Amino acid sequence: MGEHSEAVETLRWNNGRLEMIDQRVLPARFEYLAYTDAAEMAEGIRSMVVRGAPAIGVAAAYGVALEAIKWRSTSSGEFSRKLTLACEVLAASRPTAVNLFWALKRMQGVWEQHASRPVVEIADALLAEAHEVLAEDIRINRRMGAHGAALLKDGARVLTHCNAGALATAGHGTALGVIRSAVEAGKKISVIADETRPFLQGARLTAWEMVQEKIPVTLITDNMSGYLMSQGEVDAVVVGTDRVAANGDVVNKIGTYMVAVLSKRHGIPFYVACPLSTIDLSIPEGAAIPIEERPASEVTGFRDCQWAAQGVAIRNPAFDVTPAELVTALITEKGLVNQPNRQKIAALFNS
């Protein structure tokens, strides 16, 4: 499959607007929403129309490009003010996935590089860069997929948590990209998808992606994985990540840590599909990564249905930290980092 013929186009440029699949309503409805400036895009990220670390990065890049296009006929001073504000608004949309900040930095680099040019040319350069961020993400996912597929034996039953699929990226996916690549290589792979409370990325999104592609998938609630592992029904775990610290600690969707601990207990390999853009060398260890706390309403119910007792206190951390010692390997576009640690991660960036 070529890079522009992905089955699921999570984000697509259409007629001067960025269209994104509305992931809040999947799988009941499959529809695109259109975005025309940075403020709208920031709201799309915050409200999780688009989610998943790499997809958030691509969306942020387009947010900057859209804002640049919107102000392409203005003075250079006004253009700079609008773009600076746009970057601030986008940066405030969600705190944990580092790809958001990585993409903004990359777009700011292009802006600086073209700073002496007419505003209209800066806007063109920013749009071209956003297109490149999207295309590059798919290329990277395919490279990670090839490295990771080799780890899965024919017939493997692979558990995954949250959605690290095409919907969480520009296409192919990170963790689900590994599974897709293994299937493309002719292996029989079946997927066990954790439901992933409270936003149900597993039940709604991973299950949908796998059903679309006829990759066998079984849905379980988050409290069932330990039992399945104890019964010998899980051969490997592959998850994605929102940010990896310099020492290899992995931040991913809430519940990932439990799965990693259980994997260790049962001797099951725990793999993390991780593009280099998700590694944050400025953060020494996982405990320093900001963890988003989301609205209580996500825990007390779902959509219009509220089931929790009125007045109960709620916690809703959206991510947790899996210590590096529980990670069998990071799967990156440059290859595997087995039993990641600070030295191996530093070496990855120097190779």
- Spatial distance between the Cα atoms of 204 and 195, rounded to a whole number of angstroms: 8
**3-state class (DSSP) for residue 294:** coil
Q: Does 145 bind ligand MRU (CB under 6 A)?
A: no
**Residue number, 174 or 247, with CB nearest to ligand MRU:** 174
Map residues 227-266 to x or -, x wherever contact with ligand MRU holds by CB under 6 A: -------------xxx---------xx-------------
List the interface residues with ligand MRU, window 301-320 (CB under 6 A).
318
Q: Which helix (H) or strand (E) holds 276?
A: none
Measured over the CA atoms of residue 239, residue 246, residue 133 and residue 74, the dihedral's sign is positive
Assigned token pair, 143: 């490279």
- Shortest spacing between CB 245 and ligand MRU, in angstroms: 15
- Spatial distance between the Cα atoms of 177 and 21, rounded to a whole number of angstroms: 19
Could you please report the per-residue DSSP string of 209-260?
Answer: HHHHTT--EEEE-GGGHHHHHHTT--SEEEE--SEEETT--EEEETTHHHHH
Task: List, by residue number, the catalytic residues.
Answer: 242
**Residue from 93, 181, 201, 277 that binds ligand MRU (CB under 6 A)?**
201
**Residue number, 123 or 148, with CB nearest to ligand MRU:** 148
**Residue number, 106 or 253, with CB nearest to ligand MRU:** 253
**Residue from 21, 51, 62, 119 that binds ligand MRU (CB under 6 A)?**
51
**Helix segments in 9-118, DSSP class H:** 38-46, 53-70, 76-91, 98-113
- Shortest spacing between CB 3 and ligand MRU, in angstroms: 17
Q: Which stretch binds ligand MRU (CB under 6 A): 50-58, 262-270, 306-314, 324-332?
A: 50-58
| Contacting positions for ligand MRU (CB under 6 A) | 51-54, 97, 162, 164, 168-169, 174, 201, 240-242, 252-253, 318
